[in-house]
Amino acid sequence: MKEARAKFICLVAALLFALCAHAAAAQTATAKAEDKVLLSVGGEVPKPLGLTAGDLSKLPRRSIKAKDHDGKEYTFEGVELVEVLRLAGVGFGEHLRGKAVANYLLVEASDGYKAVFALPEVDPEYSERVVLLADKRDGAALAPAEGPFRIIVEGEKRHARWVRQVTKLTIRKSD
């Protein structure tokens, strides 16, 4: 009887150890996913950045309703692109004048697709149009085919600059 009880205690201890190890591995995987750089910001910026989901979650969130390629209206949620660029030290408002007005943003996707925005287009002091770095549509995370980030341009009639799978933002000077 003592031997059976000892085996039972050993079995329970082994199961508890395995369960704890699995929970710790899951927490580590979640932490690593949050620490993974998902978006780089570089080029003519004072502070080049590698941003994680955790970094972006600290920025002010915004939602907008817009019609997607399929003609249906959705609510997209994310961070205004201007906020991301401000983190990298890009000057907007009163600081966006003179030669800086000719600078532009190159948005790049994981598949090589690219789109360009003049900096005044993303500055709320120049334009009422919102350019959103979205990570959700109708409250759910974007599907892998379009996320983790997607550019949504409020009021834009054609969606050629609605870049999916955004991985890189680069500020460039025009010649």
Q: What is the DSSP string of 89-130?
A: T---GGGS-GGGGG-EEEEEETTS-EEEEEHHHH-TTT-S--
Maximum Cα–Cα distance for the chain, whole Å?
Answer: 88
3-state SS assignment for residue 168: strand
DSSP 143: P
Q: What is the pLDDT along the chain (175 residues), one digit of tens a residue?
A: 666 665 656 554 554 455 445 554 545 444 455 689 899 999 999 999 999 988 988 999 999 999 998 999 999 999 999 999 999 999 998 889 888 889 999 999 999 999 999 999 999 999 999 999 999 999 999 999 998 999 999 989 899 999 999 999 999 998 7
pTM confidence score: 0.79
In angstroms, what is the C-alpha Rg of the chain? 23
Q: What pLDDT is stored for residue 174 in this prediction?
A: 87
Closest alpha carbon to 137 in 62, 77, 85: 77
CA atoms within 13 A on the CB side of 173: 6
Number of Cβ within 10 Å of residue 29's Cβ equals 10
pLDDT at 19: 47
